[in-house]
């Protein structure tokens, strides 16, 4: 094999590894994007729940309800 063919084969091999690496990274970025979206949904739900609890609008609570010490 000539020197040029060896160099071309080496470049093609490196390129194939780079393509695989890019595909793996792409899949990882997509997975992290989905995870981030789920975490943001949970965070919004928790923030909403905390707001409800802080304002006394939680399920089962009533402003007219007597406290347990009465």
- Give pLDDT tens digits for 45-58: 999 999 999 887 65
Instruction: Tell me the residue range of the domain where 47 lies.
Output: 24-51
Residue 68 lies in a domain: no
Asked if residue 2 belongs to a domain, the reply is no
Q: Does residue 39 sit within a domain?
A: yes
Q: Is residue 12 part of a domain?
A: no
Q: Does 56 reside within a domain?
A: no
Q: Are 44 and 51 in contact (CB under 8 A)?
A: no
Residue 10 lies in a domain: no
Q: How many domains does the chain have?
A: 1
Tokens of 44: 């919004």
Residue 46 lies in a domain: yes
52: left (phi over 0), alpha (psi -120 to 50) or beta: alpha
pTM recorded for the entire structure: 0.60
Each residue's pLDDT tens digit, 8-17:
999 999 999 9
């Amino acid at each position: 094999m000539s020197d040029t063919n060896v160099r071309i084969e080496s470049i093609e091999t490196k390129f194939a590894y780079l393509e695989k690496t890019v595909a793996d990274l792409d899949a990882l970025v997509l997975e992290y994007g989905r995870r981030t979206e789920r975490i943001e949904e949970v965070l919004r739900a928790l923030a909403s729940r905390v707001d409800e609890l802080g304002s006394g609008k939680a399920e089962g609570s009533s402003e007219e309800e007597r406290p347990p010490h009465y």
